Amino acid sequence: MIVTVDLDLGGFGRLMQILLPVLDDVKSLRALVNPDISKIRNIGIMAHIDENNMLFIHHGLPVFTDFMAQERERGITIQSAAVTFDWKSHRINLIDTPGHVDFTLEVERALRVLDGAVAVFDASAGVEAQTLTVWRQAEKHHVPCVCFLNKMDKPAANFSIESIRQKLKVNPVLLQIPVGSGKGFTGVVDLLTNQRLIWKQSSMGDDGRVFESKPLDQSDEPELLQEAHEARTALIEQVAELDDEFAEILLTDFIDNFDAVPSTKLQDAVRRVTLARKGVPVLCGSSLRNKGVQPLLDAITAYLPAPNERHHDVVRWYKDDLCALAFKVLHDKQRGPLVFLRIYSGTLKPQTAVHNINRNSTERMSRLLVPFADQHVEIPSMTAGNIALTVGLKQTVTGDTIVSSKASAAAAARRAQNDRGTEKKGGENAGVVLSGVEVPDPVFFCTIEPPTMAKQADLENALNCLQREDPSLKVRVDPDSGQTILCGMGELHIEIIHDRIRREYGIETHLGPLQVAYRETILHNSSTTDMLDRTVGERRHVVAVELSVSPVDPSSPGASCELAFTEELGMQLSKEMKDAVENGVYSSYLQGPVLGYPLQGVSTLIQSVNMEPGTSPAMVSACVSRCMLKALKQAGGQILEPVMSLEVTVGEEHLSSVLGDLAQRRGTIRDIQSRHNNKVLLATMPLAEMMGYSTILRTLTSGNATFSLELDTYEAMNPQDQNTLIKRMAGLS
């Protein structure tokens, strides 16, 4: 049985209908609960903002991966929703990821557990800004990809792979050519098999599940035959350049007749090229009419890797014991926390105890489910390679490693140490904890208040639940005012959190003005000393510290603060005292010398720490912190502001208005490109100037413009702007 949801399609006009399994080819979940690992595909959809919203059809009923109320209303993906379905003889676990910059963490944690991905592009626009960001994330995790040029039936569709080649710096491997263009787009030619695939729309209600496949022959248009012949020859030559095994077959058996190359040999070679990430298969279609979707599903199973082809070390170390990564947490009103797990080894069963290495705790998992958007099917077990949804893990958070027991983790650690031929380092389980998800720092913050103090406890509970679901959401309490501060990745991110608190927890909260999360750095080198002499009770604590601070390049969004000891001091200090010094330094990095924003791009060298016997680590931390404060003030502070990379697509008639507005917002134009009848502005702009930009742009262009942005760098504020900010913040306080 497959659980389905019948959703109201109103307001979904912009949703992309993609990956539509043919009715007769969809098998029940019970028929294939635990398929062979070679038949599993864990894939994600990567795209630009609303290009990746997906619709699945099962037994004729629509099931959206966008299941949050905010997703349905806005036509965008906010959370990465998991869906499981069968395609022919394969099990596909698919995760729909957001394309909006405010929800980059959702993409990051999805890619952490995927084995392959489909990059979806608008054929009329090519590679857009946010697509490039998501692609970089996939590259970081070495995820093999397939590309799909969507919307081939748009009048402005341009079947070109140059944008992929130039912007993504990859080798696009063209596997299809379109038949017709714009409204005349009817299908594709499969260059591997020389089959012509045609979707004949017989009526307005035709959903594209049925298509006609026939070999190309002399009765087809001469131009199409010539184009297909040239494209297939180019494909064979390109694959031969990328794959030595195929090149040898070609030179040995088919050097005089490329037409005789079997499609199976060519497909095997394309698969090797894809898995080695030497090239990226490119297909095309129109998902709105479901043209080209079935071949895309075939490509997913043919070219993207199975879990056992990704060669994770933990699989070898844990052998048949359970090892899984918690990559997402959701809260359900009836069931409590729902934890998504990617299983790397072993078998997961309900009503069993599992050990959380990160929390050093044991929990009992009560139920095991297959995720199907916001509907779930309960199953008796789940094997390696799959993605599961568990009920009952109340302490587990995103990034935790789940194993069967402490003993199995210890055994895996021993195998890892023997494998590496190294001494035991970093504790009992060193090396066998799966790397978690990198959480970016927030860029916006604001105060949040309940309607009455009676609701404060309910608000704290809601924020705790939401933080567990979304690690990029940070909540802190201002030590001076006692106000609760909400920190997020953007305007939309905080707006969604605010809306969820109202809808899901029934609390009408008030948000304060949105503020930019600036950073600070220092301008000069500085050295200083400090001494602390304090008696607490009968115990005297005496410590003297000497240290120096110096600026390092703070421009990168991920630029960190560093700490080092002189070689001699590093050998003298005990681990306890080293930890105390580190606590003192890193606590000082949280508040810069200008306005108290976190520091970025500062290097600290601890030159000496002298203490009397009996001095406590807490006193050492306090002395180091005080010494750091002096050094940072002497070094002089500088405010750093986040600067966004902005791409605006606008009609030429509105170009001058948009340019004038960008100039007023301290924007810098990098380039102006042409894209069909529109202009594409590439610019940088301080994040502080982006507040409310979507509304302004809509007004300037009568709604006929789109924009996307991503964090580019942190830049030093000019003195005038910094002084203005200092005065404004003084007024707020």
Confidence tier at 563 by pLDDT (50, 70, 90): very high
> How far apart, in whole angstroms, are the C-alpha atoms of residue 334 and residue 336?
6
Are residue 411 and residue 471 in the same domain, yes or no?
no
Q: Which of 488-497, 657-666, 686-695 has the highest mean pLDDT?
A: 657-666
Average pLDDT, the chain: 83
pLDDT at 372: 60
675-to-9, 14, 147 alpha-carbon distances in Å: 32, 21, 20
For the residues 86-93, what does the mean pLDDT come to?
87
Q: How far apart are CA 361 and CA 425, in angstroms?
A: 22
Q: How confident is the model at residue 480 (pLDDT cuts 50, 70, 90)?
A: confident
Q: Are residues 470 and 538 in the same domain?
A: no
Of 220, 210, 268, 223, which is closest to residue 242 (Cα–Cα)?
A: 268
pLDDT on residue 24: 37
**Percentage of the chain lying above the pLDDT 70 cut:** 84
Of 59, 63, 95, 92, nearest to 79 by C-alpha is: 95
Lowest mean pLDDT among 128-137, 278-287, 677-686: 128-137
Q: Report the distance separating Cα 495 and Cα 100, nearest Å.
A: 14
| 678-686 and 668-675 beta bridge pairing | antiparallel
Could you say which of 620, 635, 650 is where a domain stops? 635
What pLDDT does residue 193 have? 95
- Which pLDDT tens digit goes with each residue over 519-561? 999 999 999 999 999 988 888 999 999 999 999 887 666 667 8
**pLDDT (tens digit per residue) in 44-55:** 888 764 444 443
Q: Give dist(CA 80, CA 98) in Å, integer.
A: 6
For residues 543-577, one letter each, b for 16 or more C-beta atoms within 10 angstroms of the residue's C-beta and e for the rest, the string is bbbbbebbbeebeebebebebebeeebeeebeeeb
Q: Out of 425-439, 666-680, 688-702, pick the least confident.
A: 425-439
In this predicted model, which residue has the larger pLDDT, 288 or 446? 446
Q: How distant is the alpha carbon of residue 186 from its chain centre? A: 34
To 5 degrees, how large is the angle CA 468–CA 471–CA 477?
Answer: 85
| Residue 304 belongs to a domain | yes
Of all residues in the chain, the percent with pLDDT exceeding 90 is 49
Question: Would residue 369 count as lying in a domain?
Answer: yes
What is the domain-level CATH number for residue 325? 2.40.30.10
Residue 273's pLDDT is 97
* In-domain check, residue 337: yes
pLDDT of residue 437: 63
Spatial separation of the C-alpha atoms in residues 214 and 485, rounded to whole Å: 62
Residue 215 lies in a domain: yes
Assigned domain for 17 exists: no
Q: Are 144 and 41 members of one domain?
A: yes
- Assess whether pLDDT exceeds 60 at residue 476: yes
Which one of 612, 635, 658 terminates a domain? 635
Q: Does 297 lie in the same domain as 335?
A: no
Task: Spell 453-475 as b/e; 16+ CB within 10 A means b.
Answer: eebeeebeebbebbbbbbbbbbb
pLDDT at 543: 95
Q: Parallel, antiparallel, or unpaired for β 280-284 and 145-150?
A: parallel
Instruction: Report whether pLDDT(103) > 80.
Output: no
Q: Looking at per-residue confidence, does 22 or 654 come out higher?
A: 654
- 298 in the same domain as 220: yes
Residue 98 maps to which CATH number? 3.40.50.300
Whether 354 and 242 share a structural domain:
no
The CA–CA distances, whole Å, from 424 to 317, 360, 430, 431, 434 equal: 15, 19, 8, 10, 18
DSSP annotation of 434 reads: P
Q: Is 438 domain-assigned?
A: no
Closest CA to 465 of 504, 491, 436: 504
User: Are 111 and 215 found together in one domain?
Assistant: yes
487 neighbors 444 (Cβ within 8 angstroms): yes
Residue 662 pLDDT more than 80? Answer: yes
Which residue from 501, 77, 108 is spatially nearest to 331, judged by alpha carbons? Answer: 501
Domain that holds residue 287: 26-309
631 shares its domain with 646: no
C-alpha to C-alpha distance for 356 and 337, rounded to whole angstroms: 15
Name the strand (E) or helix (H) holding 356. Answer: strand 352-356
pLDDT of residue 102: 46
Distance CA 413, CA 411 (A): 5
The reported pLDDT for the residue numbered 378 is 87
Tell me what the mean pLDDT of segment 392-397 comes to.
Answer: 90
Q: In this predicted structure, what is the pLDDT of residue 57?
A: 37
DSSP conformation class of 440: P
Using pLDDT thresholds of 50, 70 and 90, give the confidence band for residue 206.
Answer: low
Q: Are residues 499 and 648 in the same domain?
A: no
pLDDT range class, residue 132, cuts 50, 70, 90: confident
Answer for the pair 19, 83: CB distance below 8 angstroms, yes or no: no
Q: Has residue 236 been placed in a domain?
A: yes
Evaluate whether residue 2 is within a structural domain: no
Give the residue from 600, 635, 670 where a domain finishes.
Answer: 635
Q: What is the pLDDT of residue 145?
A: 95
Identify whether residues 397 and 348 lie together within a single domain. yes
Q: Is the pTM of this model over 0.95?
A: no
Q: Which of 199-208, 459-468, 708-717 has the lowest mean pLDDT?
A: 199-208
pLDDT at position 12, please? 25
- Tokens 């379109």: give the residue: 178
Q: Among 123-137, 237-251, 711-725, which stretch is predicted with the lowest mean pLDDT?
A: 123-137
Confidence check: pLDDT of 452 > 90:
yes
Best-predicted range by mean pLDDT (67-71, 145-149, 374-378, 513-517): 145-149
Q: What is the CATH number of the domain that holds 701?
A: 3.30.70.240
The total number of structural domains in the chain stands at 5
Q: If you average pLDDT over residues 437-442, what whole number do you get?
A: 73
Q: CB pairs under 8 A, 24+ apart, for 100-103? A: 100/49, 100/76, 100/130, 100/492, 101/130, 101/133, 101/489, 101/490, 101/708, 101/709, 101/710, 101/711, 102/488, 102/489, 102/490, 102/491, 102/492, 102/493, 103/77, 103/78, 103/79, 103/489, 103/493
296 and 370 assigned to the same domain: no
Residue 17 has pLDDT above 50, yes or no: no
> Do 450 and 410 belong together in one domain?
no
CATH number, domain with residue 630: 3.30.230.10
